[in-house]
Amino acid sequence: MAIAQINVAVVGCGVISDIYLQSLQDKFAVTNVVACSDLNPEKMQAKAEKYHIKAMNYADILADPTIQLIVNLTTPKAHYSIIKQALEHGKHVFSEKMIAVELSDGQELCELAQSKNLRLGVAPDTFLGGGIQTARYMVDHGLIGDPLSVVVSLNRNFRVYADIFPHMNQRGGTLPFDTGCYYLTALASILGPAKSVSAFGRRYQPERIGQRTDKPWFGEKSTVEADNILTATVAYQDGVLTTVHFNSENILNEQPQMTLFGSDGILKMGDPNNFDSPNYLTKQLNEPVKFPFTHGFLENSRGLGVADMAWAIQQNRPHRASMEMAYHVFELIHGMYQSAETETVYHMQSTFDRPQPLPTGYLDNGFWGPTEESALAF
């Protein structure tokens, strides 16, 4: 049976676009990338030539009836406008994180997609990789007993990162939104919705001077627009309590941590920013054991959420990187900031249904077995 492809256009030709374009062209049979767009015409033309696709301005992409799905890889401040225009023109959208900058804008986009019966998916899609899917398998099969508590910690150096990508010091681009969402999305896919959050925040060295001589903002002043150190306690609807620590003012030596403590064991997960994060299981009076992967997509597979959406459109089933889960994580981060600012507990307003796990066993693209993509097709 021939696979009916979904025609895709990529908007935003920055650093992350290469892995998306490679995956959507080479890894997945269901997606057919036909065009790319960027405000920088030279960058757009270079990507188009590299991947043998059309260079098109965004207005022409919106007007093209053959393009069914838009992958939005622009910076957070542009997400609301790009997504809204696409939905208004009848296009399905998969967006890089996060759905918007302002919470009300994210809610509006979800309502618009729902009213037009269109798909809206949002990164991160790393929770569909072998690492997080294996962790979910372990929890769902009771290998740690009842999940009781979680410790999450992420450190980075935004004095370096944000001097390369200035949006990281702007509203909607700080560490909880930029990278912390990988951790919170992974937990959402495993534990389900959060109920409430209480947080404290600090804005360390809010005034910055551009340090990179290769950037046009060298020597220019900028301001960190939101707290860049954040700690929080999250209560999930299933009773699990989570301690969260985000610090973007540390050093480049990252020490990511995401550990689930259950009644019968401890699950230490790897970095949810990766697809191949290993999982270590500790049972009572035993040493930690590296658990074998139960799922595929162990290589960098950004675009996996796009492919899952494309298959979901054809199969008339929910796509896994859903707007409901993405908005819930988006609200949770906003709730952390609101709690820290007001010194009150923030009570979540949104909820979502946990996405269906991928089927087990589709581990590679070897000659003797089905492809990894087959996990999305059935």
| 197-235 residue pLDDT tens | 999 999 999 999 999 899 999 988 999 989 999 999 999
pLDDT at 56: 98
The pair phi, psi for residue 158, each rounded to 5°, is -80, -5
Q: pLDDT below 50 — which residues of the chain?
A: none
- Given a contact cutoff of 8 angstroms between Cβ atoms, the answer to whether 168 and 178 are in contact is yes
CA pair distance 315, 156, nearest whole angstrom: 40
pLDDT at 63: 98
Give, as one character, the DSSP assignment of residue 26: I
Q: For the domain 6-122, what is the CATH code?
A: 3.40.50.720
Give ranges for CATH 3.40.50.720 in the chain: 6-122
Q: Give me the architecture of the 127-291 domain, per CATH.
A: 2-Layer Sandwich (3.30)
Helices 180-191 and 323-342 cross at an angle (nearest 10°) of 120
Q: Tell me the pLDDT tens digit for each residue of 74-104.
A: 999 999 999 999 999 999 999 999 999 999 9
How far is C-alpha 42 from the chain's CA centre? 28
| Residue 35 in tokens | 């065009």
Give ranges for CATH 3.30.360.10 in the chain: 127-291
- Closest of 247, 240, 241, 208 to residue 224, by C-alpha: 208
